[in-house]
Amino acid sequence: MKILITGVTRGLGLALAKKFIALGHTVIGCGRSGTEIFDLRMDHGTPHDFMVCDVSIDAKVAIWAAKVLEHESPPDILINNAGVMNPLGPLWEQNDREFSKIVDVNVRGVANVIRHFVPAMVAKKQGVIINLSSGWGRSVAADVAPYCASKWAIEGLTKALAEELPPGMAAIPLNPGVIDTDMLRSCWAEGASGFPKAAAWAEVAAPFILGLSAKDNGQSLSVSGMEG
Q: What is the DSSP string of 113-159?
A: HHHHHHHHHHHHT-EEEEEE--GGGTS--TT-HHHHHHHHHHHHHHH
Lowest mean pLDDT among 112-121, 169-178, 182-191: 182-191
- Which of the pair, 227 or 123, is modelled with greater confidence? 123
Which domains does the chain possess?
Answer: 2-222 (3.40.50.720)
Q: Enumerate the β-bridge partners of residue 29.
A: 5, 50
The pTM of the full predicted model, rounded to 2 decimals, is: 0.93
What span, in angstroms and rounded, lies between the C-alpha atoms of 220 and 216? 9
Q: What is the pLDDT of residue 197?
A: 87
Please say if 147 is a catalytic residue. yes
Q: Which of 147, 149, 154, 205 does the annotation list as catalytic?
A: 147
User: For residue range 38-67, what is the model confidence (pLDDT) as tens digits?
Assistant: 999 999 999 999 999 999 999 999 999 999
User: For residue range 18-31, what is the model confidence (pLDDT) as tens digits?
Assistant: 999 999 999 999 99
What span, in angstroms and rounded, lies between the C-alpha atoms of 170 and 205? 17
Whats the size of the chain, residue-wise? 228
Cβ contacts of 186 within 8 Å, gap of 6 or more: 85, 88
